[in-house]
Structure 1
Amino acid sequence: MLLTKSTTFIIGPIASILGYIMNAIFWLQEQIGIANIGLCIILFTIVIYVILTPLTIQQQKFSRLSSRMNPELQAIQKKYKGKNQDQAAMMKMNEETQAVYAKYGVNPMGSCVQLLIQMPILFALYRVIWNIPAYVTSVKDAFMPLAQKLMDLSGAEKFMTEIAKSTGVAFKEMTENTLIDVLYKFKPDNWAALADKFPDISDIVMDTQKTVDHMNYFLGLNIADAPLQIFMRAISAGAILLAIGAALIPILSAVSQWMNTKLMTVSTNTQAPQKKEQNSMDSTMKMMNNVMPIMSAVFCLTLPVGMGIYWIAGAVIRCIQQLIINKKMDSMDLDELVKQNLEKINKKRAKQGLPPQKITNTAKINTKHIERPEISAEEKQEKIKKSTDYYKNTSTAKPGSLASKAQMVKQYNERNARK
C-alpha cells in the first residue's frame, strides 16, 4: 500500500483538508516542545469528533423520533402484509408511510444522508492517520535528508524494494516520496541493516532514526509498528513491560468499543418499548455489539499502533460525547422537536412558494387505522346483527335471490354515501 497522499475521488480532497488540521496541531506541539505523533493523533481525533458532533446529535434525534414512529410504521406494514403483488395496495402503503414521516417532520432519508456525509470523512481520517508523513510537513522533513542521499546511492533501489516487500508497502518506482513511505515503516532491525549496507551514510541513518523515534514513540511503543510484532519481539527479548504495553492496545480498543456500544444501547433503550416484531432485529444488533469489539481487537493487533491509538481515542471521545448527548436527549421534549421539524418544513415550502402544509392532519387521515381501538367479540357480533337486520327489514326481494343481493349492494352504497 502506497503511503503518499490519497488521490481517491472525494476521499482524497477531504484527506488533504484533514491533513492541514493535523499538520497545524503538530506545528503547535513543536512550538511548546512536544513534537509527538501519538499525542498529535489523540488531539487530532478530539478535534475531528468535535466537528462531527452536530451530525451525531442529528442522528440521535432521528433515532428518538424513529422509536416514536415505529409502532405506526409497523402497523402499516402489518396491514399490507402479503399484498406485495398488489400495486394499488403498495402505493397506498407508501402513501401512509410517507404520511407518518410527514406527521413527525422527518425525512426518511435523513439518517442515510448523515451517514453519507460522515463516511468519506472517516475513510479520509484513516488515510491521514495511516499516511502521516504525506500530510505532516515536519515528519516528512525528518526523512527528507536521508531520502535524498539514498536517491544518489547505487544499490539503494534494490535494497529498499526488498524491505518494502517485508513492510507491505508498494514500491514500484524510487522517488523521494516512495522512499519516505518505506522509511516510515522501518523497524529497529531495518535501520541497522540500512546503516550496515551503506556505511558511508550511517551517521545520517542514525540521526534520522533518532529524530523519527522521538516523534514516533508513544508510551514506549513505536506507532508505525504493529502491536503483534512488538509483542513477539518483546517476548523474545524478555521485555515484559513492552509486551504488556503492546497487548494493551488491542485490549483497550476492544474495551472502549464495548463501552461505546453499551452507551448507544442505553440511548436506544430509553426510548419507547419495542414490540415482538423487533426481537430479531434486537438480537442482530446485540450480536453486532458483541462482535465489533472483538473485531476491533483483532484489527489492532496487526495494524500500526498509531491506528490503535486513533481507535481507542475515538471510542473514548464517543463515550464522553454519548453521555452528554444522552443527557441532552433525555431532557428533550419530542413533541417540541416534532413541532420544530414541521416549522422547518413549512419554511422550506414558503421559499418554494408553497402554502404551509397541514401535515399532521394528513397523517391522521392516512394512518387512522393505527389509532382505531380493538373492539370486543360481543361488539363485533352486535354490529353484524344490526347490519343484517337493516338489510332484512328494508329488502322486499326473496332472501338469497340475485335481486336480493343487488338490492343489498344498492342499499350499502346509498348508506355509505350519506356518511
Structure 2
Amino acid sequence: MKKRITVLIGILSLFLLLAGCNQLKQPITPESTGIWNQYIVYPLSWVLKEVAHMLGGSYGWSLIVVTILIRLVILPLMVKQTRNAKAMQVLQPEIKKLKEKYSSKDQKTQQKLQQETMALFQKHGVNPMAGCFPLLIQMPILIGFYHAISRTSEIAQDNFLWFDLGVKDPYYILPIVAGITTFIQQKMTMAGTEQNPQMAMMTWMMPIMIVVFAFNFPAALSLYWVVGNIFMIVQTYFIKGPDLKKETVAGKAGGAKK
C-alpha cells in the first residue's frame, strides 16, 4: 500500500511539473488562464512582486523572504511527516517479526498479515498514510513557486549580489552550494533510518542532478534551491536533533572499535 501511495505521489508531482512545462517561458500575468496559473502560479508571483516592492525593489531579497515564508507555512506538515516516519521506524522490528511469522504467500496468510499490521498501527496510534498526505499538499505549492520564479519577468531583469537573477551564475558558486546543501539535507533527513542501496544512491544522485540543472537554469532558481535547502537543514536539525547526535556517537564508537 505504501509503495503504491509513493508511486501515486511521484506520478502526481511529475504531472504537476509537466502540466506547466510548456508554459515555463511564458510570463505569468493576471490574464494567464487555467486553474494552475490563476490559483497557484500567479498568486505566488504577485506575492514575490509585493514583497520586492516592500524591500526597495530587490527581487533577490524577495525571493529569499518568500521562500522562507512558504517553508514556514508548510512547516507543520513537515513536522507531522517527520514524526510519522520516526514512529514507523520504531515499529519496523515488530513489522519484520510479523512478516517472518506470516511468510507464506497464500492469500489467507497475507490477509492475516495485513490485519495484524493494521492492528499494530492502531495500537500505537500510527497512520501509515499520514506521511504521504503532507507531500500531496506540499508539492503543488513548491512546484508552483518554481514556476512563479521562472515566469515572473521582473525577476529575470533584476540582479542580486554578484549575479543577474535571469541568467546563469557566471562563477557557478550557487550551483555548487545548491549541490552541497542538498547532500547535507538528504544525509540529515535519512539519519537514524534503515537505508537500502536505492536510497543511499539517491543521497548522491539528487545533489548531482541539482548541480547539473543549476548550471543551466537562471541564478534565481539556484538561489531558491540554496535558501530552501538551508531552511530544511536547520529544520531537520531541530526536529531530528537527538537522532543525529545518536548517529554521530554510534559512528564514532564504530570507528573506535575498528
| TM-score normalized with structure 1 length | 0.49
The separation in 2 between residues aligned to 1:322 and 1:226, in whole angstroms, is 29
The separation in 1 between residues aligned to 2:210 and 2:135, in whole angstroms, is 20
Matched residue SS, 1:111: coil
**Counterpart position of 1:49:** 71
Residue 73 (structure 1) aligned with residue 95 (structure 2):
yes
Listed as ranges, the matches of 1:170-181 within 5 Å are none
> In the alignment, is the contact (CA less than 8 A) between 2:64 and 2:227 conserved in 1?
yes
Residue 91 (structure 1) aligned with residue 111 (structure 2):
yes
Q: Which of residues 219, 223, 237 in structure 1 aligns to 2:161?
A: 219
The separation in 1 between residues aligned to 2:210 and 2:226, in whole angstroms, is 10
The separation in 2 between residues aligned to 1:223 and 1:69, in whole angstroms, is 46
Post-superposition CA distance 1:81-134 (Å, at most 9, x none):
341xx222222121111111111212221111111011111111101111123x
CA RMSD in angstroms comes to: 2.3
Which amino acid letter does the alignment assign opposite residue 256 of structure 1? Answer: T
Which amino acid letter does the alignment assign opposite residue 4 of structure 1? Answer: I
Shift of 1:10: 5.0
> In the alignment, is the contact (CA less than 8 A) between 2:183 and 2:207 conserved in 1?
yes
Shift of 1:63: 1.3
> In the alignment, is the contact (CA less than 8 A) between 2:60 and 2:159 conserved in 1?
yes
The separation in 2 between residues aligned to 1:321 and 1:249, in whole angstroms, is 21
Q: Which of residues 26, 29, 46 in structure 2 aligns to 1:2?
A: 26
Unaligned 5+ segments in structure 2 are 1-24, 245-258
Residue 123 (structure 1) aligned with residue 149 (structure 2):
no
Work out which of the two has the higher radius of gyration on C-alpha atoms and give 1 or 2.
Answer: 1
> In the alignment, is the contact (CA less than 8 A) between 1:11 and 1:123 conserved in 2?
no
**Counterpart position of 1:209:** none
Which amino acid letter does the alignment assign opposite residue 19 of structure 1? Answer: S
Post-superposition CA distance 1:273-326 (Å, at most 9, x none):
x5xxxxxx5222111011111111000000111000000111111111111222
Which amino acid letter does the alignment assign opposite residue 250 of structure 1? Answer: P
**Counterpart position of 2:204:** 290
**Counterpart position of 1:106:** 126
Residue 312 (structure 1) aligned with residue 226 (structure 2):
yes
Shift of 1:21: 2.7
Which amino acid letter does the alignment assign opposite residue 124 of structure 1? Answer: G
Aligned CA distance change for structure 1 residues 105 and 312 (closer, same or farther; 3 Å): same
The separation in 1 between residues aligned to 2:26 and 2:205, in whole angstroms, is 30
Q: Which of residues 163, 173, 179 in structure 2 aligns to 1:254?
A: 179
The separation in 2 between residues aligned to 1:248 and 1:38, in whole angstroms, is 16
**Counterpart position of 1:13:** 39
Listed as ranges, the matches of 1:270-285 within 5 Å are 274=194, 281-285=195-199
> In the alignment, is the contact (CA less than 8 A) between 2:104 and 2:110 conserved in 1?
no
Aligned CA distance change for structure 1 residues 253 and 290 (closer, same or farther; 3 Å): same
